[in-house]
Structure 1
Amino acid sequence: MSDLSKIDNRLLNDIQKRIDSNSLRTLKTGNSLIDFCSNDYLGFAQDEELKEQIISEIKKLRRIGSTGSRLLTGNHSLTEKLEKNIALFHDAESALFFNSGYEANSGLISTITKRNNTILYDELSHASLREGIRLSNAESFSFKHNDLSDLENKLQKISEEKFIIIESAYSMDGDICPLKEIVELAEKYSANIILDEAHATGVIGKNGEGLAHKLNLHKRIFARVHTFGKAIGNNGAVILGSEILKNYLINFCRPFIYTTAPNLMQVIAVDLAYKKLENSEQHISRLHVLCDYFKNTISKYKHVRLLPSDSAIFSIIIPGNEEVKLAATYCQNAGYDVRPILSPTVASGSERLRVCMHTFNSENEIKRLCKLIESITEFIERDKANVL
């Protein structure tokens, strides 16, 4: 019991530090507020027609459970068919299904990179990418966010095999990477690119094929990761690359080998979502129209500090955990589901409200939210000035 008590005390001390810094994370269930928070950019997660199609197909199954890993009893013709269809959609040689984007990113990086390799990663890379880097035996260095000069300066100093790890759209700031220029640098210095397309899937490109495909750069990238937890409205991910890469991961990627296969309900749901995506050009276009409307509307307010964004993610900087939590509470009390992003998730002083656009949001909802955010930020600024 004494050992348990010591452990409990250590855990409680760490939790208390989070409480003291206003950065404690807690779980909340769903609500009936107007959604400006979720990653359901195209509304697929709540699409009634899609839901009925999924239910209809599930009823035809003899079994629904995975029953084991894919190297044992968990592989299924539906899963292999889905991988082929997704590879075709994104114009890739092969696709390998993972249970989550986190598993795909961390598994890919930790498996592919070796002790004598060097990883260069954008300083705003997602935690799943950083986890893969941490688990790898490679040497790693960050480069300044979207800074081509800093990236090239580091590439020049590396002679061994190297990898550049970037995202199409960054989840905290919402900005887009300069992919064309990074591809050119990678080819100049013989580096391999791993591109996380999580927030570009279903959002960027004519039918949501992603940034690499839109710019016709996809054949020049070593590996792309497309996830299903955002615009696809489900969960899971695929790694796109060569057949050699796929076979290598099947043989050496521990998060793929030693985990239960995705269940067939998930496989069917993702497959049908991709079929819907094939005919969603107008749907995606509407999302972009709403994003532009939000940017144009909120830019009229002088107290709002909006970070540049070319995705469906927008960040309004409100420094301080206490202040940004207060701002989010005001939004929620007014009926809008907007969440605060606290430090240490983002750097201290860059805490923000994170606003996500969806095809089901209306212009009137957006206009009212922008006006509300302006009044909140003005109040916080005035309150701080009075304290000083």
Structure 2
Amino acid sequence: MWKALEEKLAGKLAEREAQGNLRQLRFTGNLTDFCSNDYLGLARSENLKRLIQQESEKYWQLPIGATGSRLLSGNWPLMEELETEIARFHKAEAALLFNSGYSANVGLLSAVPQRGDTVFYDEASHASLKDGMRLSFAKSYSFRHNSLEDLRQKLQHASGQVFVVVESVYSMDGDQAPLVQLVELCQEFKAALVVDEAHAIGLYGPNGEGLVVELGMEKKVFARVLTYGKAMGCHGAAVVGPAVLRQFLVNYSRAFIYTTALPTHAVLALKGAYQLLPTLHQDREEVKQLSAYLFNQLNDIETISCTPQNSVILSVFVPDAQQLKPLALALQNQGYDIRPVMSPTVPKGSERLRLIVHSFNTQQEIDGLVGAIKRHT
């Protein structure tokens, strides 16, 4: 019955395979991790596991699953207590939990910008931000990555309420948005700044609150999206901002309204992770020192280039993108979990190896990785 449709889908897959970009699910095995977003090792933390177990015993009377959406049967005092703590920790008026960073970005940007409004977003923004804007009735336009000049020119022709959407730390390139200058520009044009902090929370700020707090910009940013599957080692996300934004999302965000709430275990894991974050000063310093060491070592190899400086997310570029997959495979065979990032995940011509440094990596592991890259490039 579905033969024609199946052939059409198979044809699209064959096209992608011919381009060398076919994605596959895989297991990492026991490779040394230079791939995951578990920057501080909380996803494997015994301390976090103990906290979750302790909290689970305290809240044993709660159901395992949420049982429904937050607006039906799935709201519990535990969730609202956590949201109050999240808002306090990140120096915001209010917070609202979502089931993932993807759903938080879609839920925020599909609901808040209205017909007649204008959204400008950095061209390097995550797919979830772009998907949220596609579902909005507002007009949306990209601006060149981290280009204040390009953004300024486009702001002059905006209409309605204007929004500017950026990531504080970009997930692919690892570089930071010029948040101080962006805040000044948004104030000049009365634009609302939205910052995705997915790759900044845990790593920046006095206690891991994120780059916005580290720069003292929390009162000048309209909304922040906090994703918990990276340095927090958990699952879910939150949008923080004014109290009226939280209430608006409860009423108008379809990604919040029409989905089952996070299960109890996920909420308790987040509660434990927030207890641990202020204690991880040494881990934050270690991961930054290791990243600087790896950056310097890689840039001593003449056959490759590495960017950016001062980031735990590093991109390794080789002269010919066709070398990336064989290089990644060779490194995996040597015991290192390294992945190539190909088009269309990144623009054609900017394919790279994406290396992630963690607080649990060692200098010995980094030396081994650098040596392997030297041998295979």
Residue identity opposite 1:162 in structure 2: V
Which stretch of structure 1 is more off in the superposition, 71-80 or 153-162?
153-162
Structure 1, gaps ≥5 residues long: 378-388
Aligned to 1:117: 117
Equivalent residue number for residue 344 of structure 2: 344
> What is the TM-score when the length of structure 1 is the normalising length?
0.94
Name 2:156's counterpart in structure 1.
156
Compared CA separation, residues 320 and 111, structure 1 to 2 (3 A): farther
Output aligned runs, 1:157-236, within 5 Å. 157-236=157-236
Answer yes or no: is the 8 Å Cα contact 1:201–1:208 preserved in 2: yes
Structure 2 letter corresponding to 1:39: N
**TM-score, normalised by the number of residues in structure 2:** 0.97
Tell me how far apart the structure 1 counterparts of residues 311 and 193 of structure 2 sit (CA, whole Å): 21
Bigger shift: residues 94-103 or 150-159? 150-159
Q: Which amino acid aligns with 1:24?
A: L
Amino acid at match of 1:11: L
Cα distance in 2, alignment partners of residues 174 and 337 from structure 1: 18
Counterparts of 1:292-371 in structure 2, within 5 Å, are 292-318=292-318, 322-371=322-371
| Deviation of 1:337 (Å) | 0.3
Give identity over the alignment, percent: 46
Question: In the TM superposition, what is the alpha-carbon distance from 1:335 to its structure 2 partner?
Answer: 0.5
Q: Is the 8 Å Cα contact of residues 50 and 272 (structure 1) preserved in structure 2?
A: yes
Does the 8 A contact of 1:227 with 1:238 survive in 2?
Answer: yes
Q: Distance in 2 between matches of 1:165 and 1:157?
A: 17
What secondary structure is seen at the aligned counterpart in 1 of 2:219? helix
Partner SS, residue 55 of structure 1: helix
**More displaced 10-residue stretch of structure 1: 53-62 or 71-80:** 53-62
Q: Indicate the RMSD between aligned Cα atoms, in angstroms.
A: 1.1
User: 2:271 aligned with 1:275, yes or no?
Assistant: no
Task: Tell me the equivalent position of 2:264.
Answer: 264
Mapped to 1, the partners of 2:94 and 2:310 lie a distance apart of: 29
| Alignment partner, residue 48 of structure 1 | 46
**Residue 28 (structure 1) aligns with:** 26
- Residues 283-308 of structure 1 show CA distances to partners (whole Å, capped at 9, x for unaligned) of 21111111111112212211121122
> Counterpart of 1:278 in 2: which secondary structure?
helix
Aligned residue number for residue 129 of structure 2: 129
Shift of 1:141: 0.9
**SS at the partner of 2:151?**
helix
In structure 2, C-alpha distance between the alignment counterparts of 1:339 and 1:38, rounded to whole Å: 10
> 2-side partners of 1:188 and 1:90: how far apart?
25
Which amino acid is 1:50 matched to? L
- The Cα offsets for residues 257-308 of structure 1, whole Å up to 9 and x where unpaired, read as 0100100100000110110002211221111111111112212211121122
Residue 319 of structure 1, CA deviation: 5.8
Worse-matched range after superposition: 347-356 or 95-104 = 347-356
Quote how far apart the aligned CAs of 1:30 are.
3.5
CA distance in 2 between partners of 1:246 and 1:319 (Å):
48
Task: Supply the distance in 2 between the matched residues of 1:309 and 1:354 (Cα, whole angstroms).
Answer: 14
Alignment deviations for residues 8-66 of structure 1 (CA, whole Å, 9 cap, x no partner):
11101110011101100010123100000000000000011211221232234122211
| Alignment check: 8 A CA contact 2:41 2:359 kept | yes
| Matched residue count | 375
SS at match of 1:67: coil
Distance 1:74 1:30 in 2: 35
When residues 214 and 120 of structure 1 are mapped into structure 2, their CA distance, relative to the original with a 3 A threshold, is same
C-alpha distance in 2, partners of 1:184/1:56?
A: 45
**Deviation larger for 275-284 or 247-256:** 275-284
Counterpart of 1:384 in structure 2 is none
Partners of 1:83 and 1:320 in 2: how far apart? 47
Deviation at 1:206, TM superposition (A): 2.0
Which residue of structure 1 lines up, in the alignment, with residue 83 of structure 2?
83
Write the distance in 2 (CA, Å) between the matches of 1:252 and 1:160: 19
Cα distance in structure 1, aligned partners of 2:192 and 2:376: 45
The answer to whether residue 101 in structure 2 is matched with residue 95 in structure 1 is no
Cα pair 1:92 1:242 within 8 Å, conserved: yes
Deviation per residue, 1:212-265 (Å, 9 max, x gap): 100001110110001100000011100000110000000010110010010010
CA distance in structure 2 between the aligned counterparts of 1:242 and 1:44, rounded to whole angstroms = 29
SS in 1 for 2:374: helix
CA shift, 1:320, in A, is 5.5
Alpha-carbon separation, structure 2, partners of 1:9 and 1:109:
35
**Would the alpha carbon gap of residues 148 and 238 (structure 1) be closer, same or farther in structure 2, given more than 3 Å must change?**
same
How big is the shift at 1:321? 5.4
Amino acid at match of 1:214: E
